[in-house]
Amino acid sequence: MSSNAKWVVALKAEAKPIIKALGLNRIDKNVVFPVYKDKNARNWLVISGVGQKNVVAAVKYISEFSDSKGCSVWINIGIAGSSSDRYGELFLIDKITRASSDECFYPGSILKSNLQKSELLTVDEPLLDYSKVDLVDMEAADFVRVTSKISGRDLVLVMKIVSDGPNNSVNDLTATRVSHLILQNINLVIDHVNKLISLASLEEERFENPKGYTAVIERWHFTVSQQHELKQLMKRWVVAYPFTNIIKKLKIMKNSREVLTFLKHDLDNYKIDWK
């Protein structure tokens, strides 16, 4: 299983430039949460609609739809209001406060980056006066809460682009302007996401079955607990004997118990050559 990115965006206008840049295609007919992906299934995108409830449902939907495993990078990107005059600027969010509960969420900071960083306030209703907050949106808090449970907070990204502020009224926002704001920053965004996908790939080995495992459980009958023990022993065994064909070694074994005993015995007598 290889690492991938799951993009969750609230608006179609936000999604459009990402879909184009990544060459994504619509893959289902779900009218509530349209899902897109590229041909290698490296990038997936779901349009969630506005608000935290929608984002939670969309994450759940794409998670099941795409069979998410632990090495997915989750990205919530979109526009945000700002009290400062930073129209069009991209921010990587490292602290999110949910306005309704004051609860805070911290996406990971494992990637060194020159992107500007900021805190964000997630509100339930559109905020009319946000003169006292750095950035404000309506999705990020719950997005981080639910995706952290799937991939861990280190593989969760929230990126916001300032769309309205003291000199840019929210009333002037059109779908075209929103798409344009995303498009202006798309290279920076994709570059950052790709770096995190590379890091996430370090986790792939955690989920891999040891070489030969499937063949072994198909050949002999193992109970569920024996399968677990077998996997742990084989993980160690294939590291100790990387050039030995395990199936050839095991072929004279009569049953699962003999297989397990053989592996244990081999490991018990294994002396690591440290030189």
Instruction: Give strand ranges (E) for 35-155.
Output: 35-37, 43-47, 72-82, 90-98, 104-105, 117-122, 135-137
User: Secondary structure of the chain: what % helix, strand, coil (to 5)?
Assistant: 45, 20, 35
Considering only 17-25, 50-58, 196-204, 211-219, which stretch makes contact with other proteins by CB under 8 A? 196-204
Q: How many CB atoms lie within 10 A of CB 159?
A: 22
Strand-pair partners of 92: 117, 159
Of residues 196, 177, 234, the one with CA closest to residue 4: 196
Name the residue nearer to other proteins (CB basis): 25 or 232. Answer: 232
Name the residue nearer to other proteins (CB basis): 181 or 233. Answer: 233
Query: Applying CB under 8 A, what is the total number of residues that bind other proteins?
Result: 40
Using CB under 8 A as the binding rule, the residues of this chain from 121 to 160 that contact other proteins are: 148-149, 152-155
Min dist CB 244 to other proteins, Å, is 13
Min dist CB 42 to other proteins, Å, is 19
Considering only 31-39, 80-88, 228-236, 254-262, which stretch makes contact with other proteins by CB under 8 A? 228-236
* 225 binds other proteins per the rule CB under 8 A: no
Binding mask 77-96 for other proteins (x = CB under 8 A): -----------------xx-
Of residues 5, 170, 185, 167, the one with CA closest to residue 78: 185
Give the integer Cα–Cα distance in Å for 80 and 256. 58
- Where along the sequence are the contacts to other proteins (CB under 8 A)? 94-95, 104, 106, 108-112, 117, 119, 148-149, 152-155, 199-200, 202-203, 205-206, 208, 210, 232, 235-237, 239-240, 267-275
